[in-house]
Amino acid sequence: MSINSFNPPLRTLMGPGPSDVHPRVLAAMGRPTIGHLDPAFVGMMDEVKTLLQYAFQTRNSLTMPVSAPGSAGMETCFVNLVEPGDKVVVCVNGVFGGRMKENVDRLGGIPILVEDTWGDPVNPNKLEDTLRNHRDVKLVAFVHAETSTGARSDAKTLVEIAHRHGCLTIVDAVTSLGGIPLKVDEWGIDAIYSGSQKCLSCTPGLSPVSFNERAIEKIRQRKSPVPSWFLDLTLVMGYWGGSSKRTYHHTAPVNALYGLHEALVMLQEEGLENAWARHEHNYRALRAGVEKLGLQFFVREDSRLPQLNAIAVPVQADEAHIRQLLLSDYNLEIGAGLGALAGRIFRVGLMGHTSNLKNVLLFVSALEEVIARLRLPADRGGETPARRA
């Protein structure tokens, strides 16, 4: 048997993640591996925490990357904050809200759903009504940027409602961190998780999380031990915590953390507000190009995510074939619809390093050529928010 080294094709990653990784991040990951308790590494960990506090706009000392992908960040929040019998309101307007519900189920919690049509944001009035009808709810969980639909929810308002009803909040910021305004302290978010591979443009596999004092107090008051050893924050903090005496918890993914450090340094160099503005600017360019092709956005304009654009599949089009042609002929990856939206939308990411005008032009011109090649009808139609309603 002779298997050669793997050399991946050079793609432009315009799907729902991972996004293109900047050469500076890849170069950082190729630096020599050192021990994960080496003083030099520990110093870098402190910098990663500081840089993440900046990205999240928080002073929370419990801010760190979990050594696993965004799904593990999600589980970290739920396994630490939910105990059997706890009532948790979960807002579901796409795939990832559904996963939050599954987490609550598996932990023996009682999920109470606030459901919205996929493609719509979470409706704050429904959350308010639900909390009025259920007085003993402990937690409210929702997804800030629903990657499966491209909808942005009003995190600030949802947190404010939850707090008014005495609930803590868990917020999924996997696709929002670094791409759209997100202010953990100002909005009072209690527990939040994200991912390295979206608007931070690092490689996949790390999940930044942050917990405020109220959330930590809830963990301290638990009646039962956290049911996951690996994700138990009281243990992980011995390694990532503020004390100079770090204790072994697990072997940190050393080189992956070099990459996250570099990605966050780049975010700091650009400035968070500038990064948000860049994502918005490039979305507007994409919108102009897409509309010129006669295609429709799936999400209402006022709740669209600039970094994740759901575009309705044109009538009579085979969406998998279009994606396959973009990949084979243009080395361009875009995403398919998930779950109920499979076959109905394309998901076009403009996240992190991918979010630039060159990529907007590449996508629009490639799609135009493919549409012409397939001789799709001039009335492209597709599913718009108005038609969905």
Ligand X SMILES: Cc1ncc(COP(=O)(O)O)c(C=O)c1O
The per-residue DSSP string of 58-72 comes to ---SEEEEESS-HHH
DSSP label of 248: -
Nearer to ligand X, 199 or 233 (CB): 199
Q: How far is the C-alpha of 295 from the C-alpha of 162, rounded, in Å?
A: 38
DSSP secondary structure letter of residue 33:
P
91 binds ligand X per the rule CB under 6 A:
no
Q: Which is nearer to ligand X, 86 or 172 (CB)?
A: 172
d(C-alpha 56, C-alpha 39), whole Å: 26
Q: Determine if 172 is a binding residue for ligand X (CB under 6 A).
A: yes
When asked if residue 69 is in the footprint of ligand X (CB under 6 A), the reply is yes
Measured distance between the N- and C-terminal CA atoms of the chain, rounded to whole angstroms: 57
Rounded Cα distance, 357 and 376, in Å: 26
**Residue length, the chain?**
389
Residue among 181 and 289 whose Cβ is closer to ligand X: 181
Shortest CA distance to 173 belongs to which of 126, 118, 210, 120?
210
Question: Cβ contacts of residue 369 below 8 Å, gap of 6+?
Answer: none
Nearer to ligand X, 68 or 327 (CB): 68
The residues near 86 (Cβ < 8 Å, ≥ 6 apart) are: 104, 109, 110, 138, 139
Stretch that binds ligand X, among 56-64, 65-73, 127-135, 344-352 (CB under 6 A): 65-73
Q: Which residue among 15, 65, 70, 109 contacts ligand X (CB under 6 A)?
A: 70
- Which of residues 61, 71, 117, 384 is near ligand X by CB under 6 A? 71
The window from 78-86, 167-175, 240-248, 287-295 that contacts ligand X (CB under 6 A) reads 167-175
Give how many residues touch ligand X by CB under 6 A: 14
Kindly identify the residues of this chain, within the stretch 15-34, that bind ligand X according to CB under 6 A: 16-17
Rounded Cα–Cα distance for residues 194 and 331 (Å): 27
Query: At 289, which helix (H) or strand (E)?
Result: helix 272-292
192 DSSP β-pair partners: 171, 210
By CB under 6 A, residue 335 contacts ligand X:
no
Q: Which residues neighbour 387 within 8 Å (Cβ) at sequence distance 6 or greater?
A: none
Q: Which is nearer to ligand X, 63 or 176 (CB)?
A: 176
* Joined tokens for residue 143: 């997804």
Please identify, among the stretches 168-176, 240-248, 259-267, 323-331, the one whose residues bind ligand X according to the rule CB under 6 A: 168-176
Sheet holding 191-193, edge to edge: 62-66, 207-211, 191-193, 168-172, 139-143, 87-92, 110-115
* 253 near ligand X, rule: CB under 6 A: no
CB–CB of 233/219 below 8 Å? Answer: yes
Report the C-alpha gap between 209 and 53 in whole angstroms. 10
Taking the complex as a whole, how short is the minimal distance between the CB of residue 80 and ligand X, in angstroms?
A: 17
Name the residue with the smallest CB distance to ligand X.
Answer: 70
333 binds ligand X (CB under 6 A): no
Asked if residue 174 binds ligand X (CB under 6 A), the reply is: yes
Tell me how far, at minimum, the Cβ of 242 lies from ligand X, in Å.
27
51 contacts ligand X (rule: CB under 6 A): no
CB of 328 to ligand X, least distance (A): 24
Q: Which is nearer to ligand X, 317 or 351 (CB)?
A: 351
Closest approach of ligand X to the CB of residue 97, in Å: 9
**Contact (CB, 8 A) for 207 and 176:** no
User: Which residue in 66, 89, 91, 143 binds ligand X (CB under 6 A)?
Assistant: 143
Cβ-based nearer residue to ligand X, 20 or 172: 172
96 binds ligand X (CB under 6 A): yes
The residue (of 16 and 385) whose beta carbon lies closer to ligand X is 16
Question: Binding ligand X by CB under 6 A: which of 175, 212, 296, 309?
Answer: 175
Residues forming the site for ligand X (CB under 6 A): 16-17, 69-71, 74, 96, 143, 147, 172, 174-175, 195, 204
